[in-house]
Amino acid sequence: MNQLKRTPLFGAHQRQQARLVEFGGWEMPVQYTSIVEEHLCVRRASGIFDISHMGEVRCQGPAAARFLNELLTNDIRKLTPGLGQYTLMCNTHGGVVDDLYVFQKAENDFLLVINASRIEADWQWMQEQLQAFPERTQVRLDNQSDITGAVAVQGPATVGFINACVQGPSTGGALVPRPTDLKKNQIGCFSFQGMPVWISRTGYTGEDGFEVYTAASLIESFWETCLDVGRAVGLKPAGLGARDTLRTEMCYPLYGHELDENTTPLEAGLKMFVALDKPAFVGREALLEQEQRGIKRRCVAFKMPEKQPPPRPGYPVWVPGISEAVGRVVSGTQSPSLGVGIGMAYLPAAHALPHNVVEIEIRGRKIPAEIVPKPIYRPAPVS
C-alpha cells in the first residue's frame, strides 16, 4: 500500500485533533468538531480549509496564453493581469480531464490550480499537449504543487479580518492595496512575514471568501495567523466533510463524481465555461458534434422530502413507470442548511426536467425526490 501524502499543515491538524481520512492519495482532515457545525460556521461566520493538496502549475512565456487557449475550454483572451476564470481541460472526445481555475498573474504568466487527485494525470496531459503545440519553445510549464501551500478562508465574516492577516501589497505584485479590494475571481500578491502570498477572491462554498497560495514552508504560519486574527468573528477550521456538503448545496462539481474522462462539460451543465466560438481547443469538435446531435444525459440536482434518509453516491435513481433504474446518484448528502437530503445525478435528458419527480432507492426503499434548479441552496450574494 502506498503511503499517504501529507500537507504542510498536517501537524496543525493533529494539534486540533482533527479526524483524518484518505482523500486522493492524501491524509486529510474530514472534520475537527462536526461536519454540520463546521458547515454552518462557514455559512454564518467563517471557516478555514487546508487546500494544500491541490495542484499548482505555472505556465509562462510569450506563447503561454495561446497554448492555454488551445488546452482549456474557456476563453483565456478574456483574462487580464490579476483576473482568473473557471475552466475545463478536455480530451479529444470531449471528456473532462480536469476542471480547474486559471489566473493571470502578469503578462505571459499564468497559475493553474488543479484537483489533487488529478495532479499526475494533468501534468502528463499538459506536457503531451505542449509537445504537439507549434510554439512549444515559447512556453514553459512548471509543476509547483510540492512547493506550494494553500488555504481557503470562506464565509461572510471573512472580510472582517483577512486584511489584518497580511502586511499590505507585495512590491510589484498587487493591483489593489488590500485583499478585500479584490473583486470576484481577481487575484493579487500581498506580503506576509516579508514573503509573497497570492490571494484570490474565489472559493468552493458559495460564500464570499478567499483562497491563499504561498510557499509550503510559510503556510502553517499563515494558518495560525488567520485563526488568531479571525477568532473574534468566529473563524474555525473546517474539514473535507463540510467542504463537500457546502459544494453539494451549490451544485459545484467534484472530479470523480460529476466529472470524469467519459463525461463532457455539456452533459455536466457547464456549457457557460466552454467557448465553442474559439477557433480551436482540445475536444472542440467532439463537443460541437454532441451539441448538434443533442445531449442524451444531463446532470440534475434534486431535493428529498423532510425526515427521509439522505442519498449517497451510487444509489439508483428511478422514474415511476419505468422497470429499471435510469441513473445513479453522483453526489448526495444531508444538507445542513436546509435540513433535507440533497444530491446530483445523471439522468436521460427526457427525464432531466425541473420539478419532475424521480425516486431514489435507499436501502431497498424508493423515496420520491424533486428535480430542482441549481444551486440547491442560494447564499447571500457576494458584493
Give 342-379 pLDDT, tens digit per residue.
999 999 999 999 999 999 999 999 999 999 999 999 99
Query: Do 28 and 51 meet the contact criterion of CB atoms below 8 Å apart?
Result: no
User: What is the rounded distance in angstroms from the CA atom of residue 345 to the CA atom of residue 263?
Assistant: 13
Whether pTM exceeds 0.75: yes
Is 144's pLDDT higher than 80?
A: yes
Please give the helix or strand (H or E) that residue 285 lies within, else none: helix 284-293
Q: Quick one: pLDDT at residue 173?
A: 62
Q: Which fold has domain 296-373?
A: Elongation Factor Tu (Ef-tu); domain 3 (2.40.30)
* Structural domain boundaries in the chain: 1-294, 296-373
Return the ∠ at Cα 71 (arms to 69 and 74), rounded to 5°: 50
Environment class of 173 (CB within 10 Å of its CB; exposed 0-12, middle 13-18, buried 19+) = middle
Look up the CATH architecture of domain 1-294.
2-Layer Sandwich (3.30)
- Neighbouring CB atoms inside 10 A of 339's CB total 9
d(CA 302, CA 304): 7
The stretch 30-41 carries a mean pLDDT of 99
Question: Which pLDDT does position 171 carry in this prediction?
Answer: 72
User: What is the structure's pLDDT at 172?
Assistant: 63
Strand partners, 101: 86, 113
